[in-house]
């Protein structure tokens, strides 16, 4: 049984991350804040004063020094807030860090318009004058790609002032979703009514008792229905902000703005949706099979996560989960496994759910320090997969930081999901290969199908929701509760079929998705999953070339565009093959499971 902690103080030290690796005390944080403010003021003095390579180099090195310090400062504030989102002291640190971010943006807003006012010949002359600029050369010329999307110096200065206001919808939703939200009540094992938590929900929605699932489902959605208008307002504002910014910056659409940094053609996004819908039949069949296997007259949303193989619910304590992970990832080599052993010893993790702690899980790589990994571990199979997933991100961060200079150490989100999902595919293969009990094997197969469904199909559905809602905003059409409900419910039917009977809560799924406040992000889970299936398949064949290329990919940071980095691993997402292969794999899994 999972241990429930009533406060953060109860959690053992070894299961809490060590933020002293960032700042030994608050005084050091305050000292860095003052230093960053001085550096920001110094950067301002370069406005109109860059006339040669030496001055350009001085500006860029000062900016990189500031960036290094600010990333540490912001990471500390964010991690402190996420430990307990109710803590006003931590909130204050984060607010000050955000305000400082706006000040930095304002101080440097002149630079991109200045850079793009130069011709290529002048920039090359500056680089010839100051050899140190070769470090920045690729980045400088990459900026020219943005030329038609950068405004005048005065307009950029004005836009930088709106940074905090434009992020307000996302920040407001984060506070609603993490700090303010109160779920309904559920009945505990003693028959008492207790307030539902997210951690409890993830367990109860898989309970074999249908009444418990229904009760948890209703309690979980209760606050989202109560706050539907407020949440619809924050989401509509976030979408409209993005659409407006895209227009101001001369992008053909918000979608193309979202794909521009990664240099991904919109066809990759659109083909992902089209290919998935074209081959959606196995997912519909799986819904029908689920209804039949559960012996239900009506399949409801709260029936979609209960395991179809009963009596094999596994309790996997955190330490055991970690050991399983180390064995499962052996195909990635001894160095990879040893890196993860070091992660645990050095307390890079914050493991347990506690009141006020941010929900979910993430990895935050901090250049010059190390990754910090937030978990809400529940001692179950899902938590094992989450651990393996986030450690994929963590090692990716670690290796990119070790092998890349600061300027290219931070990898694109597009490639991030590859590293995490390769780990998940290796884990499921390890678990299936090392399980002799046929019933447990069926349970694991069922679990992987549901994981596939959530990481691939659901994310593609979310990606289409984003596309459709942004297109409505671009056409000047209203966005409100009814519009979001209609779009979301229609997509649910298209993706999951008519087998599922709709209830009032089902169409409000959009209200609980924080990723919608990071536009055109979720599709990367699906492309990452498809890429990972291909890479992991080759790794499991013992292909040494694949292993070498994949580890090189993990060390590459952002040294090339994401699609190019993936091509080096043997995955070409500009072709439909990786997507088609993944969909064929899903069909194969459903057929195998159905036959059992």
Strand partners, 365: 371
**Residue at token pair 């599922």:** 500
Q: Which one, of 487, 474, 454, 490, lies nearest residue 232 by Cα?
A: 487
| DSSP state letter for 373 | E
CA atoms within 13 Å, Cβ hemisphere of 541? 10
**Per-residue DSSP letters for 486-542?**
HHHHHHHHHHH-TTBPP-TTGGGGGGG-GGGGSTT-THHHHHHHHHHHHHHHHHHTT
CA distance 548 to 373: 26
Active centre residues (catalytic): 390
CA distance 459 to 465: 10
**Residue at token pair 């799924």:** 509
Strand partners, 223: none
Q: Which one, of 262, 212, 240, lies nearest residue 473 by Cα?
A: 240
Give the distance from CA 35 to its chain's centroid. 31
330: number of Cβ within 10 Å:
12
| DSSP state letter for 314 | P
CA atoms within 13 Å, Cβ hemisphere of 185? 6
- For residues 485 and 508, the answer to whether their CB atoms sit within 8 Å is yes
Task: Give, for 292, the enclosing helix (H) or strand (E).
Answer: helix 281-294
Q: Which two tokens stand for residue 547?
A: 């292993």
């Amino acid at each position: 049984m999972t241990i429930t902690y009533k406060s953060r103080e109860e959690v053992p030290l070894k299961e809490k991350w060590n933020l002293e690796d960032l700042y030994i005390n608050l005084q050091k944080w305050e000292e860095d804040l003052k230093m960053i403010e001085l550096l920001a003021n110094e950067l301002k003095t370069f406005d109109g004063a860059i006339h040669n390579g030496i001055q350009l180099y001085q500006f860029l090195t000062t900016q990189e020094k500031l960036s290094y310090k600010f990333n540490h400062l912001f990471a500390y504030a964010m991690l402190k807030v996420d430990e307990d989102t109710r803590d006003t002291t931590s909130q204050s640190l984060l607010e000050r860090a955000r305000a400082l971010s706006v000040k930095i943006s304002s101080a440097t807003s002149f630079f991109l318009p200045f850079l793009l006012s130069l011709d290529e010949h002048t920039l090359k002359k500056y680089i010839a004058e100051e050899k140190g600029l070769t470090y920045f050369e690729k980045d400088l010329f990459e900026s020219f790609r943005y030329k038609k999307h950068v405004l005048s110096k005065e307009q950029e200065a004005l836009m930088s002032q709106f940074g905090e206001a434009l992020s307000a919808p996302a920040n407001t939703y984060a506070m609603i979703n993490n700090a303010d939200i109160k779920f309904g009540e559920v009945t505990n094992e003693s028959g008492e009514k207790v307030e539902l938590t997210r951690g409890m929900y993830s367990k109860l929605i898989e309970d074999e008792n249908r009444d418990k699932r229904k009760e948890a489902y209703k309690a979980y959605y209760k606050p989202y229905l109560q706050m539907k208008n407020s949440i619809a307002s924050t989401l509509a504002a976030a979408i409209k902000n993005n659409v407006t910014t895209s227009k101001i910056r001369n992008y053909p659409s918000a979608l193309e703005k979202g794909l521009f940094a990664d240099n991904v053609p919109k066809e990759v996004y659109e083909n992902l949706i089209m290919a998935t819908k074209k081959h959606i039949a196995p997912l519909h069949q799986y819904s029908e099979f689920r209804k039949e296997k559960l012996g239900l007259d009506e399949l409801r949303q709260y029936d979609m996560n209960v395991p179809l193989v009963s009596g094999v619910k596994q309790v996997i304590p955190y330490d055991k989960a970690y050991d399983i992970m180390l064995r499962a990832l052996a195909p990635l080599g001894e160095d990879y496994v040893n890196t993860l052993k070091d992660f645990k010893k050095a307390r890079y993790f914050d493991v347990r759910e506690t009141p006020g702690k941010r929900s979910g899980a993430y990895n935050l790589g901090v250049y010059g320090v190390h990754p910090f990994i937030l978990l809400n571990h529940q001692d179950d199979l899902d938590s094992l997969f989450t651990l393996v997933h986030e450690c994929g991100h963590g090692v990716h961060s670690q290796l990119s930081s070790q092998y890349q200079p600061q300027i290219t150490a931070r990898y694109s989100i597009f490639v991030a999901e590859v590293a995490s999902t390769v780990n998940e595919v290796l884990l499921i293969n390890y678990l299936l290969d090392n399980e002799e009990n046929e019933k447990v094997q069926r349970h694991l197969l069922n679990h992987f199908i549901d994981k596939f469904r959530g990481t691939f199909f659901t994310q593609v559905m979310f990606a289409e929701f984003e596309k459709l809602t942004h297109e409505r905003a671009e056409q000047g059409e209203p966005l409100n509760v009814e519009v979001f409900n209609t779009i979301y419910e229609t997509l649910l039917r298209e993706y999951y079929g008519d087998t599922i009977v709709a209830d009032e809560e089902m169409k409000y799924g959009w209200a609980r998705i924080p990723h919608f406040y990071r536009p055109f992000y979720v599709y990367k889970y699906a492309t990452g999953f498809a890429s990972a299936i291909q890479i992991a398949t080759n790794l499991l064949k013992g292909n040494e070339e694949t292993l070498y290329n994949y580890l090189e990919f993990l060390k590459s940071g952002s040294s090339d565009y994401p699609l190019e980095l993936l091509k080096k691993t043997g995955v070409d997402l500009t072709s439909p093959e990786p997507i088609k292969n993944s969909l064929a794999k899903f069909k194969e899994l459903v057929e195998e499971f159905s036959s059992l």
